[in-house]
Amino acid sequence: MTQIQTKRIESIDMLRGIVMVLMALDHVRDYFHIGANTGDPLDLQTTYPLLFFTRWITHFCAPVFIFLSGTSIFLQSQRKTPKELGMFVLKRGLWLIVAEWTIIAFGWTFNPAFAFIPFQVIWAIGISMVVLGSFLLMRIPYIVILGLGIVIVFGHNLLGRVEQAPDFQTNFWWDILHHGTFKPYTIIGNHNAILVYPFVPWTGLMMLGYCMGIFFTSTYSIAQRSRVLLGLGVGLLLFFVGLRYSNVYGDPSNWSSQRDNLYTFFSFMSVQKYPPSLLYMCATISIALLALAWLERLNNSFLKVMTVFGRTAFFYYILHIYIIHLLATIAFFARGHSFADGLQTEGHFPFLFVAPGEGYQLGVVYAVWIVVLVMLYPICKWYDSYKQNHKEKWWLSYV
């Protein structure tokens, strides 16, 4: 029987904060880089090393955040009854979905008519919480959740073979469950859903994160947990290398030899995020497990800053979108555009006050990223302190 864990695990907050910082880099690139909305930074025919790295390193954000969300839910099970936890996770999941389609949708688009409704990472976390919360309310055993998570994560790529049939046609429900890759669907009138994160593979990953939480209880010492995390991380990384090398299963795109060793390595590491392939999740989560083992032993000023971001993750997420889009809007007008120009969108391009094909080189992207983080830190620091001093306010657990 596990002992009750009452102290926050700082390594989880540290890693969550690190991936939040990387996420901000990706979103600054979305709004500021000259090629962000016209090309794929991972296209080996057009990319260059720094651009490839800038995009690839941010691949860790969504899977690590979703995995750790599951771990945090398990840790809450140590101080809540199954009914209390199930209801909380269910309600929080529904709230995140509503927030995605309203507060976050407006931050991404600045479109008050809500012409584009994103189904992005917060939606994926929300619907995964709805599923997991329902399981908790039904008292589904730990071992069953673990088994389902393994089956989903390791088996969902089999659906890709169904999609390869010549007469296969996707539809809204198939895309929302498994395939959606920025595909727009008209909901009603001029309101369009943009399916970015099909939720089933992400739900499987959250289940595995939930089950990983058992190693963060007081039953395991830091040394024991570090050994487990190290072993799982190394094992999963070796599994990734072996399966990726085989080109047999786990990702819809095979790697191949390129013009030099560096680009061959890029081909090997270029695994699919939309929807997340097995190899994508193996590559990112293996490194995350190794990082958790390493972070257990560290405590410095940099990691204290990361901990603040990790403890205020959802607040940070909402705030960083608005700050980045606001700065991009200022840059849009500084380039000589009018307000009317900013209201123009081409096809299903969702961002107002952003012009595809316009922007800056990566040096400016990195500079803006640093500015955004400097702006975010004191606000998140204040909010973290506010949360710690007002634990009686129930609504703070939802933000």
Q: What is the pLDDT of residues 110-129, one digit of tens each?
A: 999 898 898 999 999 999 99
Q: How many CA atoms lie within 13 A of 169 on its CB side?
A: 2
Q: Has residue 293 got a pLDDT over 60?
A: yes
Give yes or no for residue 5 having a pLDDT over 60. no
Q: Which residues contact 279 (CB under 8 A, 6 or more apart)?
A: 240, 243, 244, 250, 251, 271, 272
- Torsion angle of the four alpha carbons 61, 62, 65, 68, in this order, in degrees rounded to the nearest 10: -120
CA nearest neighbour of 233 among 394, 11, 40 = 11
- Going by pLDDT thresholds of 50, 70 and 90, the confidence category of residue 189 is confident
Which token pair is 110?
A: 């600045």
So what's the pLDDT on residue 379? 97
pLDDT of res. 3: 47
Q: Which whole number is the average pLDDT over 348-358?
A: 86
Give the pLDDT of residue 2.
Answer: 44
Local confidence band at 361 (pLDDT 50, 70, 90 cut-offs): very high
pLDDT attached to residue 6: 47
Token pair of 211 as six digits: 């089950």
Does residue 275 have a pLDDT over 60? Answer: yes
**Is pLDDT at 206 greater than 70 in this prediction?**
yes
Structural contact between residues 201 and 276, judged by C-beta atoms closer than 8 angstroms: yes
pTM given for the model: 0.93
Predicted confidence band of residue 106 (pLDDT cuts 50, 70, 90): very high
pLDDT band at 346 (very low <50, low <70, confident <90, very high): low
Asked if residue 107 lies in contact with residue 321, where contact means CB atoms within 8 angstroms, the answer is yes
pLDDT greater than 70 at residue 171? yes
Would the pLDDT of 347 be above 80? no
How high is the pLDDT of residue 84? Answer: 93
| pLDDT on residue 1 | 41
CB atoms within 10 A of CB 380: 24
Assess contact for 198 and 275: CB atoms under 8 A: yes
Q: What is the mean pLDDT of residues 199-224?
A: 94
Question: For residue 302, what are the contacts with CB-CB under 8 A and spacing of at least 6?
Answer: none
- Terminal C-alpha separation, the chain: 32
pLDDT of res. 345: 63
Give the model's pLDDT for residue 162: 83
Highest mean pLDDT among 167-181, 242-256, 341-355: 242-256
Name the burial class of residue 344, with classes exposed (0-12), middle (13-18) and buried (19+) by CB atoms within 10 angstroms of its CB: exposed
Q: Is beta strand 116-119 parallel, antiparallel or unpaired with respect to 183-188?
A: unpaired
H or E stretch at 193:
strand 191-195
- Residue 26, token pair as written in the block: 């990706």
* Cβ-based neighbours of 221, under 8 Å, separated by 6 or more: none
What would the mean pLDDT of 195-220 be, rounded to a whole number? 94
Per-residue pLDDT at 394? 77
The whole-number pLDDT of residue 352 equals: 92
Strand partners, 185: 193
Looking up tokens 């739900």, which residue turns up? 203
**pLDDT reading at 349 higher than 90:** no
